[in-house]
Amino acid sequence: MWAAGACCSRQAGEGGAGGATARTPVKTFQAYLPPAHRTYSCIHCRAHLASHDELISKSFQGSQGRAYLFNSVVNVGCGPAEERVLLTGLHAVADIYCECCKTMLGWKYEHAFESSQKYKEGKFIIELAHMVKENGWD
Ligand SMILES: [Zn+2]
C-alpha cells in the first residue's frame, strides 16, 4: 500500500493485463504523424508535436524567444485555462506540455477577447526552443 500524493492525482494504471479486451487504455508511447510529412518534434524526447502543414505563423514571441502558431498538435497535454494580458490584448490561455516528457512547450489560445485576435482561438503556440525539425527538411 502506498498513499497517493495530494499533488498528483494520476491513476496508477488499470491493474494487470485483464484478458483479451480489445480496448486498451494504455498509451504505449505517442501518436505518430504521417512519415511523409515534414514534422516538428519535441527537442527533449522526440515525440511528434505538429505537422508543418498545420503551421499558421512563425511570427510569434514566446517567453524564450520565437514561437510558432499551429492549427493542431499531437502528444500535447493542456493545463487549466486562465486569463492573461498578452501583447495583443486579453486572452484566455492554457499552458501546453509534451505528454511524453512533460516539458512545457507553450500555450493554447482558448479565447480571444479582441475581435482582431479571434483567429487564434483553439490554436497552439509552441516555442521554437522546444522543437526540432524532423525528416531532414530545411
Ligand atoms: Zn517531449
Cα–Cα–Cα angle for 107, 70, 58, nearest 5°?
A: 95
User: What does the alpha-carbon distance between residue 10 and residue 80 come to, in Å, rounded to a whole number?
Assistant: 16
pLDDT in tens, 23-75: 555 555 678 887 767 999 999 999 999 999 999 999 999 888 999 999 999 99
In the predicted structure, residue 104 carries a pLDDT above the cut 60: yes
Give 19 Cα–ligand 1 centroid separation in angstroms: 32
- How many other CB atoms are there within 10 angstroms of residue 133's CB atom? 13
Give 84 Cα–ligand 1 centroid separation in angstroms: 25
- Closest residue by Cα to residue 125 from 95, 100, 102, 98: 95
Write down the pLDDT at residue 66: 96
Selected residue with higher pLDDT from 25 and 86: 86
Give 103 Cα–ligand 1 centroid separation in angstroms: 6
Q: What is the pTM of this model?
A: 0.75
Phi–psi pair at 15, nearest 5 degrees: 80, -165
CB distance 114 to 88 below 8 Å: yes
C-alpha cell at 38: 515534414
Give 116 Cα–ligand 1 centroid separation in angstroms: 32
Give 46 Cα–ligand 1 centroid separation in angstroms: 6
Give 134 Cα–ligand 1 centroid separation in angstroms: 14
- Closest residue by Cα to residue 110 from 129, 98, 126, 124: 124
Residue 15: left (phi > 0), alpha (psi -120 to 50), or beta? left
pLDDT in tens, 6-22: 443 344 444 444 444 45
User: What does the alpha-carbon distance between residue 41 and residue 74 come to, in Å, rounded to a whole number?
Assistant: 10
Give 6 Cα–ligand 1 centroid separation in angstroms: 25
Give 90 Cα–ligand 1 centroid separation in angstroms: 29
Q: Which residues pair with 70 in a beta bridge?
A: 55, 124
Taken as a whole, the chain contains a residue count of: 138
